[in-house]
Structure 1
Amino acid sequence: MPLETPARIVRTLVGRGYNAEREAVTLIAGSDDPGRTLARVVEAAPDDALRITADHVREVLASAPAADPSGTEPTPPAAADAANAADADPAASAASDPSVSAATSHDNAAHTDQSAPAEAQGTPGGRNVDPALRSLEIANDMTGQSTGTGEYDDFVKVFRDRYEKLSKLLRGRVNHRPAKAISNMSGGEDAELIGLVDDVRSTKSGHWIIDLEDTTGTFPCLVMKDKDIAGYVDELLMDECIAVQGTLSGDAGILFVDSMHFPDVPRSHRSNTADRDVQAALISDVHVGSQEFMADAWNRFADWLHTEEAARIEYLLIAGDMVEGVGVYPNQDEELDVIDIYEQYEAFSEHLKSVPGDLEIVMIPGNHDAVRLAEPQPGFDDELRDIMSAHDARITSNPSMVTLEGVNVLMYHGVSLDEVIAELPADKASYDEPHKAMYQLLKKRHVAPQFGGHTRLAPEELDYLVMEDVPDIFHTGHVHKLGWGKYHNVLAVNSGCWQAQTDFQKSVNIDPDAGYAPIVDLDTLNMTVRKFS
């Protein structure tokens, strides 16, 4: 049996019905004769074992017989079958085919400083990672923390928490006075107010009235149509938090606005970077179970991850919609390849096994996944976690802040992008440039500001959707479009999908960007995009 690559090791074990720990695959690949070690491991595995552990491999290595003087050694029949299966696996051997890892860059006019991808070499092996150098932390995981019951008090709590968190970001820019206090001021006085947008309406003259609400009441604010800030009104969403400065009218009944402020990412923001040359792959919307799931593209991606060229990729972040789900949209059952939801997750787990076992994987749910639709979405339940146990993936809620070696990555599936794109002008947010819609969320410092719209939001004691800390990378999916750019030094990436156009998508004019994998250098935050479709 030839020198084993991790890809062949994983595929051989999968073919024999086993999952494997990362360290187990690494130990097999690093042994003197990986093929023979793999064969012995399969032969020696306990009958009831579902996973090959590092301890299993160590026992086999420790009990290896002395070399036969003839240079040969008898191999048990079952072990020989395993070795032959690996040699005969065309998908595994494809890792050495240069055409498998051929990559193309994706031009993005909105962000021109991205480095161009190098030509793929397609050489097998090459993954020699040291897990001790890694660090991965997850913050803001609300799994198991849900307190919402749907009572009126829950809504009050979540909006109060939203206001408190976002108003703190604005208090350094304005001298806030409560709405109730402003209502008692005299006409002609200067006033500054921080509030949630309760209503936006136009006057007969084309001016704008914005009702802002804080914890003491609501106050009307007038934006004149000839003011420079009038353009900001088009960007406003209900329930977002803003600050205004201006002068009270003669009867003190309205505030004439001179300036408007958003919580925003400070222009002085400087992103964190890793201390070593390491990369993360950002993907989303795999949609296993759909007839349009692009299994061939996924296999090319997985095989490429085993090559020397991809050796620096140590993290894989998946931003939701692992499976197609059931009953998500009208007549979806006619487009399903796998009808049972649990079988969809089993199929996804099998596909996940094909990526290198030494990757650190983080997954959040999306609107097609079998969790509650209302955001924030808790991570998958124990039954689904058991199914998706490949490579010990980290499962967290949607959204979550994931810190990779000091680099803060905000993972959010992105359902609210539909609402942002529908509500805002096309030059501010569109499906063709989804990263611009993400800029709006960064500006508002909230991943889903508008309550009561198309985005289902759950009232909790805390508002987990506020961006209290500025991310270094903002990663979303959902809209099945590829786009990226930098906003105040934050890299915003919408990573496309792994599903070809469905009949439903045709009916709503969605032309997906499928089979792409954005790769981010964590030490520079430069990005390349690989195409596998």
Structure 2
Amino acid sequence: MPQESHRRLVEELTSRGYNAEREAVTLLANAGQPELAAEAAADAAGDAFVVTVEHARTALEDDLLGGDPQREATPDDPTHPETPEGAPDLAEQAPTDMGGENDPTPADELLRDDDSAAESADGDGSDTSVSTGTENTKNRAKESGSGAETTGSGASSSATATTDADRSVSATAAADADSPSSATAAADAVGDRSPPAPEISNDVTGRSTGTGEYAEFVGTFQDRYERLSGLLRGRVNHRPAEAIQSMPGGSDAEMIGLVDDIRSTASGHWIVELEDTTGTFPCLIMKDRAFAPLVDDLLLDECLAVQGTLADDGGIMFVDSLHFPDVPRTHKPNTADRHVQAALISDVHVGSQEFAQGAWDRFAEWLHTSEAEAVEYLLIGGDMVEGVGVYPDQDEELDVVDIYEQYEAFAEELKKVPGDMEIVMIPGNHDAVRLAEPQPAFTEELRDIMSAHDARFTGNPSTVTVEGVSVLMYHGVSLDEVIAELPAEKASYDEPHKAMYQLLKKRHVAPQYGGHTRVAPEEKDYLVIDEVPDVFHTGHVHKLGWGKYHNVLAVNSGCWQEQTDFQKSVNIDPDYGYAPILDLDTLDMTVRKFV
């Protein structure tokens, strides 16, 4: 048979939410009425994800389809299950046994908090919508049937509060799960998604020029300074460091620079050395100034603006105010023109012995139900696989030890997702790309392995615009350093979104250089947040948390990996099996729980 008939048949099955074995495609394509054959095969498949040869033969037993149940297929027979040369390598075998413990169950939801506190982000009265943490248990959803509170941290003050009755999994997929045609009916209820393609910007893929030379690092930091200082020049009248050094004592001075050093004096005051392209200059922040606590927020190499007065000898500036590049408090996010949703997930970690298979299967099946009809985008924030050699003795916790086989296993899991969704993926530190940020997208070889749904691959970080809503996707390695350096009330693993607030305030996803976050020198600093995003999506820390900072929704989406022995050793209790579902028309969010 010509390849075109196979392609049409696969599209028909995909529109119904099914993948198919190649042999099954060949059988159905040779039926008298292939379209009816596909429909009958889908009915025969029931709640399985994959149409098998057995399902195809069942469909062909219908006389209307021209099949003969008594006839045995032979190599010369057009229904022989041997794929003809040149036929597309479509939808390989995936698990079909979804019964027993893996039966789909209604997904619980994590609810939002209705009351937010205000927190100063800089010294001039800007405020933040703060997500509540573990103390706000009244706003937590409860697990179905058990009454146990869900894990994970905060909820945005704009997230939509619903109940299980309001948003239970559809009756077709849940209450009627035993019906042979339930999965088909659910897939039909979803209809044909046809979302417009996302737009991708600030992607280093194919543009990397760095070789690691010292001069290239200098160029990267010069670019960082120029772009971030441009965000601050409207707030201060900047004078270069060398110009300030020649000014007389007692003069008013204003400067923009990268933080070169932070140290305390014997009296408890703070000296912050700022560096621009002409030199460095010391700035003294007195401990009794109202903005002095903001020194605790500072990281080396971030960009900062100060205003003050020079000492009598002109050798130091007494700071009267300081400013971060920050997100304007007047920021108004964009929204979609229609009701459409995006699922934000990260850290799938296929290949790990602790991959949450059951939770992933329930999530993938839910995407086929009518309740998920509006979910047209899936944005995955890195760590598709567990990787190899990422941490000590990792091999003892691997279910798949070969990195390419891990990606093949991930591709099989991805096939369970509806084929008509737009999928965007960035890499993470467990993926087989360079560790230094910005990370380019996956190689062609890995893309070919993960090509089941024609997903879009972009670098880490990248800005992905869907339906007019800009989503800054960053895997989040720098969150470890932010959490380690800043006070617990400003950044913690239990509330990862607060660490994300700090990155938004600094307008850079990895401001501190020289620590655990590896940075690659490039002609431009791809880690600068030039344009304010509408949504900031990260992963990496395996903790769930979200909230709004100056109208930017910050979401850390948790993971799909249960606790490993290594995580136990470093006291990480992961939030796994959650899927934040974002309404792109309102930027309200509901978090689905699939464990």
Q: TM-score range by the shorter chain?
A: 0.7 to 0.9
Alpha-carbon spacing, 1:235–1:81, altered in 2? closer, same or farther (3 Å): same
Aligned to 2:464: 402
Aligned-residue offset at 1:296: 1.0
Deviating beyond 3 angstroms after TM superposition, the runs of 4 or more aligned structure 1 residues are: 4-9, 11-18, 31-34, 36-39, 70-73, 75-82, 92-95
Unaligned runs of at least 5 residues, structure 2: 1-11, 44-50, 52-59, 74-78, 83-91, 113-130, 133-153, 173-185
Moved more, 200-209 or 149-158: 149-158
Give the aligned residue type for 1:321. Answer: D
What SS does the corresponding residue of 1:471 show, helix, strand or coil?
A: coil
Give the aligned residue type for 2:67. Answer: P
Q: Distance in 2 between matches of 1:405 and 1:94?
A: 37
Give the aligned residue type for 2:18. Answer: V
Aligned pair count reads 489
Alpha-carbon spacing, 1:170–1:426, altered in 2? closer, same or farther (3 Å): same
Aligned to 2:349: 287
Task: Map Cα deviations across residues 383-409 of structure 1 (whole Å, 9 max, x no partner).
Answer: 111111110110000000000011000
Aligned-residue offset at 1:134: 1.9
Q: Could you state the TM-score of these two structures normalised by the residue count of structure 1?
A: 0.86
Aligned to 1:390: 452
What SS does the corresponding residue of 1:244 show, helix, strand or coil?
A: strand
- Which of the residues 62, 67, 80 maps onto 1:74? 67
8 Å contact kept, 1:94–1:303: no
Aligned to 1:112: 157
Alpha-carbon spacing, 1:378–1:17, altered in 2? closer, same or farther (3 Å): farther
Aligned to 1:378: 440
8 Å contact kept, 2:157–2:548: no
Give the aligned residue type for 1:127. Answer: V
Aligned-residue offset at 1:11: 3.8
Alpha-carbon spacing, 1:374–1:15, altered in 2? closer, same or farther (3 Å): farther
Moved more, 301-310 or 141-150: 141-150
Aligned-residue offset at 1:345: 0.3
Backbone CA RMSD of aligned residues: 2.9
Aligned-residue offset at 1:496: 0.2
1:12 equivalenced with 2:20 (yes/no): yes
Q: Distance in 1 between matches of 2:509 and 2:476?
A: 8
- Which of the residues 126, 135, 138 maps onto 2:200? 138
Aligned-residue offset at 1:114: 1.0
8 Å contact kept, 2:15–2:191: no
8 Å contact kept, 1:412–1:475: yes
Task: Map Cα deviations across residues 469-518 of structure 1 (whole Å, 9 max, x no partner).
Answer: 00000000000000000000000000000000000000000000000000
Q: Distance in 2 between matches of 1:508 and 1:378?
A: 29
Q: Distance in 2 between matches of 1:394 and 1:486?
A: 27
Task: Map Cα deviations across residues 412-450 of structure 1 (whole Å, 9 max, x no partner).
Answer: 000000000000000000000000000000000000000
Give the aligned residue type for 1:104. Answer: E
Unaligned runs of at least 5 residues, structure 1: 19-23, 40-51, 53-64
Aligned to 1:296: 358
Give the aligned residue type for 2:309. Answer: T
Alpha-carbon spacing, 1:114–1:221, altered in 2? closer, same or farther (3 Å): same
What SS does the corresponding residue of 1:232 show, helix, strand or coil?
A: helix
8 Å contact kept, 2:429–2:435: yes
1:532 equivalenced with 2:577 (yes/no): no
Aligned to 1:48: none
Task: Map Cα deviations across residues 111-153 of structure 1 (whole Å, 9 max, x no partner).
Answer: 233112442233312222452x524100011112111111111
Moved more, 133-142 or 480-489: 133-142
What SS does the corresponding residue of 1:299 show, helix, strand or coil?
A: helix
1:127 equivalenced with 2:190 (yes/no): yes
Give the aligned residue type for 1:209. Answer: I
- Which of the residues 93, 100, 108 maps onto 2:105? 100
Q: Distance in 1 between matches of 2:24 and 2:542?
A: 35
Give the aligned residue type for 2:169. Answer: Q
8 Å contact kept, 1:7–1:355: no
Moved more, 341-350 or 140-149: 140-149
Aligned to 1:360: 422
Aligned to 1:339: 401
Give the aligned residue type for 1:356. Answer: P
Alpha-carbon spacing, 1:16–1:182, altered in 2? closer, same or farther (3 Å): farther
What SS does the corresponding residue of 1:390 show, helix, strand or coil?
A: coil
Q: Distance in 2 between matches of 1:138 and 1:519?
A: 20
Give the aligned residue type for 1:35. Answer: E
- Which of the residues 488, 491, 497 maps onto 1:429? 491
Aligned to 2:39: 35
Aligned-residue offset at 1:33: 6.1
Q: Distance in 1 between matches of 2:198 and 2:374?
A: 16
Aligned-residue offset at 1:6: 4.8
* Pairing 1:77-88 to 2, within 5 Å after superposition: none
Alpha-carbon spacing, 1:94–1:176, altered in 2? closer, same or farther (3 Å): same
Aligned to 1:414: 476
Aligned-residue offset at 1:349: 0.4
Q: What is the percent sequence identity of the aligned residues?
A: 68
Q: Distance in 1 between matches of 2:386 and 2:418?
A: 24
Alpha-carbon spacing, 1:17–1:453, altered in 2? closer, same or farther (3 Å): farther
Aligned to 1:180: 242
Q: Distance in 2 between matches of 1:104 and 1:17?
A: 38
Aligned to 2:127: none
1:91 equivalenced with 2:91 (yes/no): no
Aligned-residue offset at 1:177: 0.6
Q: Distance in 2 between matches of 1:422 and 1:38?
A: 52
Q: Distance in 1 between matches of 2:25 and 2:80?
A: 16
8 Å contact kept, 2:349–2:384: yes
1:198 equivalenced with 2:260 (yes/no): yes
What SS does the corresponding residue of 2:321 show, helix, strand or coil?
A: strand
Aligned to 1:226: 288
Aligned-residue offset at 1:102: 2.5
Q: Distance in 1 between matches of 2:445 and 2:22?
A: 21
Aligned to 1:484: 546
